[in-house]
Chain A
């Protein structure tokens, strides 16, 4: 079964708005990662947050991690049409630290 589950499954926003995606997971983790996938392409690593971190920023991306709730959120600020993609969270379980388990993803559509 999948470790991470994203919410919502799909999100449609206007260009310039912020987009928030959430991820919940089941077991203790070492770190949580977010990836983007453009249609027909491979996944691209966006950001990694370790279990002892609560928040991390990278450009227009902000990731938070709440280990007590086993959840994470990805915020994309001032969205652009080019942000249209699917976004996945992935976790590595503490009992198997060298493999990532992916969620089913959030499809983001940014309308021009």
Chain B
């Protein structure tokens, strides 16, 4: 998707290992978000950021941490991956919630 990239696109990791997903934007948007998508649950907000070093928890933040040291990068870390964190993770950016979000293409994470 134009202006936003996620890496990696796919990852398989073992239970108990740390994992970091990266979201990079070139739009200079203030707001960045991490969602996970699971069958039957739609998208659920994990963490979001409203500026550099300004982050807050979403509805499913347990087991996840985030960092935003630069406007363009928002990192999602699973400190110790569990099988319940197997999911598709989407990053999104926005000027504000008064505007539509632009989503990345997603990262498919499998924890074995």
Contacts and interface: CB of A to CB of B under 8 A. Distances in A.
Interface of A: 1-2, 30-31, 33, 35, 41-45, 48, 50, 88, 90, 92, 97-105
A43 B42 contact: no
Nearest to A1: B59
Contact of A42 (B42, B99, B103): B103
Contacts of B101: 33, 35, 43, 45, 90, 100
B97 interface: yes
Contact of A101 (B40, B45, B92): B45
A100 B97 contact: yes
B43 A88 contact: yes
A42 B48 contact: no
Contacts of B74: none
Given A88-B42, A102-B35, A42 B98 contact: no
Contacts of B106: 41-42
A42 B1 contact: yes
B16 interface: no
Interface magnitude class on chain B: 20 to 34
Q: With a 10 A CB-CB cut-off, give which of B48, B90, B97 has the most chain A CB atoms.
A: B97
A80 to B, nearest CB: 22
A33 B101 CA distance: 9
Contacts of A30: 97-98
Interface in B10-45: 31, 33, 35, 40-45
26 contacts: A1-B59, A2-B41, A2-B42, A30-B98, A33-B101, A41-B105, A43-B43, A43-B90, A43-B92, A43-B101, A44-B103, A45-B101, A48-B98, A48-B100, A88-B42, A92-B97, A97-B96, A97-B97, A98-B94, A99-B48, A99-B97, A100-B45, A100-B101, A101-B45, A102-B35, A104-B40
B1 to A, nearest CB: 6
Q: With a 10 A CB-CB cut-off, give which of A45, A48, A99 has the most chain B CB atoms.
A: A99
